[in-house]
Amino acid sequence: MPAPLWYDYAIVRVVPRPEREEFLNVGAIVSSASAKFLAARIELDKARLRAFDPGVDVEAVATHLAAIVRICQGGADSGPIGQLGQRDRFRWLTAPRSAVIQTSAVHLGRCHDPAGALDHLVATMVRIRPPERG
C-alpha cells in the first residue's frame, strides 16, 4: 500500500452577523500538493442559516459559496484568483477575514484518498447526524 498523503484542510463557515461570532459550518476545502488535489464541497442548509439570521440574503451567500468551488477547480470561469497556482488558491481561500463567509484555521491530515477525506470532513463537520437511539 502506498504511503499516506499529507493534506491541509479548512472548514467553510457562514457568519451571518460577524459581530455575534456565531457561525454555521457549510463546507470544507482540502488541498494536497503531493496529490495535485484541491477541492471544496459546500452543503448549505438554508433553513438553518435563516435560523441564525432571518434577514440574511441566502441567495447571495449561496452565490459566494459557489465561487469557492469554482476557484478550487480553476479554469477560465474561476476569475483571477482561480488562475493562480493550487497552493496560492488554497492560501487565498483560507486567509483570515472578517466577513460573512470565513474558514476555520488550516489543519493538517494524512490520508490515502484526498477526495475521501473531503467526503469525511463534510459528513462529520457539516451535516447534522440523526440522534442515536438508545
Distance CA 58, CA 50 (A): 8
pTM for the full predicted model:
0.93
Q: What is the pLDDT of residue 9?
A: 98
For the cut 70, the answer to whether the pLDDT of residue 134 exceeds it is no
Q: What is the pLDDT of residue 110?
A: 97
User: What is the arithmetic mean of pLDDT over 3-17?
Assistant: 96
Q: What is the pLDDT of residue 45?
A: 96
CB < 8 Å & 24+ apart, contacts of 65-70: 65/12, 65/14, 65/26, 65/27, 65/101, 66/42, 68/12, 68/27, 68/29, 68/40, 68/42, 68/93, 68/101, 69/39, 69/40, 69/41, 69/42
Q: What is the pLDDT of residue 27?
A: 98
Mean pLDDT score of the chain, rounded to an integer?
94
